[in-house]
Amino acid sequence: SQLKGDFQKAERAYTMLINLENVNAQASGYLSMINLYLLQGRFQECIREVERAIERCAQAELEEHRFKFLLYLVYMHIRLNDLESALKTIDQTSEKTGSFDLVDCFATRKILYHLKGWDYLKMGKIKEAKDTVTQLKKLIDETGYSKKCDCIAT
């Protein structure tokens, strides 16, 4: 690509996408900017862009994109070892929907439960981690994926 290796040029191009009227172009711009910041280790700026993307997606009612950006935010909090913020973000996701059940994508729901369980485990909250794994197993059983996920059975 023409932007390869030129971070400043890439940042300007992604900013242009973010400033367009088309919300899908904006989401693409945010995603590209976030990945650029991740690549450079600019985690605080990455979090700022993720939060802006989440807000924009909520305004435009782009729930699928919003959930993807929420996953990025959870990842960033975990990366910075801010597990409380990661859990808060996960819980905020389920608060807005009533549960993870309304998240359309099975893979996204599975990741949210996985991250929540992982956070509890890292915090030493074993009971909460086990409860989350139980919820994840229930999700997998209900969707018929249990044959492929025997590692969750215990």
Condensed to tens digits (0 to 9), the pLDDT of residues 58-95 reads 888 887 788 788 888 888 888 788 888 888 887 776 65
Q: Helix axis angle, 83-97 relative to 106-122, nearest 10°?
A: 140
Residue at 49: amino acid letter: E
pLDDT of 82 reads 86
Show the CA angle centred on residue 120, arms to residues 114 and 123, nearest 5°. 140
Sites in the chain below the pLDDT cut of 50 = 98-99, 102, 147-154
pLDDT of 22 reads 92
The answer to whether 112 and 93 are in contact (CB under 8 A) is yes
Residue 101: closest CA among 55, 131, 134, 142: 142
pLDDT of 66 reads 82
The answer to whether 114 and 89 are in contact (CB under 8 A) is no
Torsion 132-48-10-60 (CA) sign: positive
